[in-house]
Structure 1
């Protein structure tokens, strides 16, 4: 991973073999980032993603071990229990141009990854949803 900061934006290059969430965690901790917007694209050769089932309160994930184009990576960084909390979604396509996506658990870069991390002033926390009783970790503004 290599990155540069331009005002409040970190421009990040992830290299082949690097894990997306792992490297973003490293960057956020090193730079003491507590609130940010994530945007990116690139190529992966491994992906674990899925969706959260509010009825069972479990993530239903699938793993893919094949070349994938990362069409869109979008998400945010907030704070929960004093630690960075990532909420990232991903859309990918395979060599037949079939596309799918979901909540990103992890992806390994297969070519390169290009990410913009826009830092915002302030802090937004997370708390377990007691209003909708979903079990999700939702924004907390207190």
Structure 2
């Protein structure tokens, strides 16, 4: 199950940090999964998600990204995406992904203005978060199926 939000009022990252999620400017999604096999560790699943985000961003924007181990995606050294994978009850996992799509620094809290970026800032263009969502979900699905075949 995938839940897409137009806004988050209590988005969070690691370790308990707040993820600033203004309305209609980003992609905020949570996927609830129950793997057939228990993942050996959550870091490998987090990296799989980061690689999917990289591929999706490159697909729609041609921007160059890099992964900051273990759970961030950067553009030009600034954070464009945060990923949080958590174990919850009965063998389920929740994968949370937040991507700054059309955010601008004038609406960000002071503490992230120098460390965050968005696709719009980096490319100078507006993007449709739904387009990124569609590409990202395909990338996640393909990579997750390959991952399951390896564990």
TM-score, structure 1 length as denominator?
A: 0.30
Higher normalized contact order (CA 8 Å, seq sep 6+, divided by chain length): 1
TM-score, structure 2 length as denominator?
A: 0.29
More strand by share: 1
Quick check: which has more Rg, 1 or 2?
Answer: 1
More helix by share: 2
